[in-house]
Structure 1
Amino acid sequence: MSESMALGIVLTLAGGFQDAYSYNCRGAVFANAQTGNIVLLGQNLANGNWQRALHYLFPLIAFISGVYITEWVREFYKNYKKVHWRQIILIIEIVMLFIAGLLPQSLNTLSNVLMSFACAMQVNSFRKFKGIPCATTMCIGNMRSATEMLCKYHITKNPEMKKKSLHYYFIILIFGIGAALGSIFTNQIGNHAIWISAFLMFIGFIMMFVK
């Protein structure tokens, strides 16, 4: 189930939602798209906006830390029988997103740190669906793979390449839908809107009990 398309849809919706929420509600920082944060970090450093630069530096550090901690969780719980180690990751993410939603606007940097950490754990734990490598928190890799497979299909006429290409484009569409929902609910609810993403992850947690 941890590599099923159903779970991939749920987590991708949550991933798109987080990016829209963090950008629209938490000071124009991307929770997931760390490339954007690096660009904005460099831009602010170049302009001498040191305090604003920290606004983007801390989420980057949190993302790196999230990947690192995930590897330790995998190592310690990979043979755990009661729950899958990826379910432990989802629980940690849910807690972090819940806390992020409680924080006021004055603590936007801390909120972004929590979301970036959670995002890193997700992207490092859920790497493929239906046997196809795929990201649930960003699109650039999926776009490259989708177009590569499309080109290979046109060259070889292999229907498997077409199937994989559509798989990637579908995930990109789901991410876009998640981002749209994130924008809508953030404008209506505000800080607490991130709890919707946490709820989607909880659904994913429950789904993983199904064999």
Structure 2
Amino acid sequence: MRKALYLLLPIGAYFFGAFLSEYLGKSIKRFHFLRWDTVLIGIEILTVVVLGFLPAKAPDQICQVVLNFICSMQFNTFRQMEGIPAATTFVTNHIRQVGHFLAKYVRHHEKTYSSRVKAHGRLILFFLCGAIVSTVTCRFFEYRSIWGSALILLIVFGRLFYADISYEKDLLTRVPHGH
């Protein structure tokens, strides 16, 4: 019974992450300064930095529940890439999409299918790069390797922040597709 109750924690964290990202995503626009996706990347950076400071003896479940929460927020917030539905936290769907659109392209030779293959292929490539970087950082930094993701997130945050205050400033009030 105790184990069954424990399983409610990561599931609850995932549920609450989706709820909170949906709720805050709409509320943040009132400030007309940063888009919700930029704010979320900032939250992710803070989260992985804090998790990196946990002692090695800390229960793994702490990271699991916190990352379930953050990944749910990310999955719910980043639903599209270049107008194409995309799951940013899972690679398996992109592998399926490449196969699906490659078959359509071979059959019909339409540019739309080719561009979808390339878009999903890029996401697979990014996942692969992330796996390689994670493997290398784990080897050298062990429990602090999570900070490698903070570095990548910092680059993403910088690009989103710059877009929010400059060339995409007029998009601050736009509701993201899928919300």
| Pairwise same-fold verdict (TM > 0.5) | yes
Q: CA deviation at 1:58?
A: 3.0
Q: C-alpha distance in 2, partners of 1:117/1:145?
A: 26
% identity of equivalent residues: 26
The structure with the larger Rg is 2
Q: Are the equivalent residues in 2 in contact too, given 1:103–1:111 (CA < 8 A)?
A: no
| In 2, Cα distance between equivalents of 1:136 and 1:121 | 11
1:89-168 equivalences in 2 (<5 Å): 89-104=40-55, 105-168=57-120
Provide the rounded CA distance (Å) in 1 between the counterparts of 2:10 and 2:135. Answer: 20
- How many matched pairs? 162
| Partner Cα separation in structure 1 for residue 63 and residue 34 of structure 2 | 28
Structure scoring higher RCO (CA < 8 A, sep ≥ 6) equals 1
- Check the 8 A contact 1:93/1:121 in 2, yes or no: no
Q: CA 1:121 to 1:155, structure 2 compared with 1: closer, same or farther past 3 Å?
A: same
For 2:119 and 2:36, locate their aligned partners in 1 and report how far apart those are by CA, in whole Å.
Answer: 26
Indicate if the aligned counterparts of 1:101 and 1:111 stay in contact, CA closer than 8 A.
no
Structure 1 spans left out of the alignment, 5+ residues: 1-44
Given that 1:97 and 1:194 are in contact with CA atoms closer than 8 Å, whether structure 2 keeps it comes out as yes
Write out the 4+ residue segments of structure 1 that deviate beyond 4 Å after TM superposition. Answer: 50-53
- Which residue in 2 is equivalent to 1:196? 148
Q: Which amino acid aligns with 1:61?
A: G
What per-residue deviation string (whole Å, max 9, x for no partner) do you get for residues 56-91 of structure 1? Answer: 653333222211110111121134311111111111
Alignment partner of 1:61 is 2:8: no
Residues 97-122 of structure 1: CA distance to partner in whole angstroms, max 9, x if unpaired?
11111112323211121122111111
Q: Does residue 33 of structure 2 align to residue 82 of structure 1?
A: yes
Gaps of 5+ in 2: 168-179
Is 2:137 the partner of 1:185? yes
* Per-residue deviation, 1:168: 0.5
Q: TM-score, normalised by structure 2?
A: 0.81
Residue 100 of structure 1 contacts residue 115 of structure 1 at CA under 8 Å; is this kept in 2?
A: no
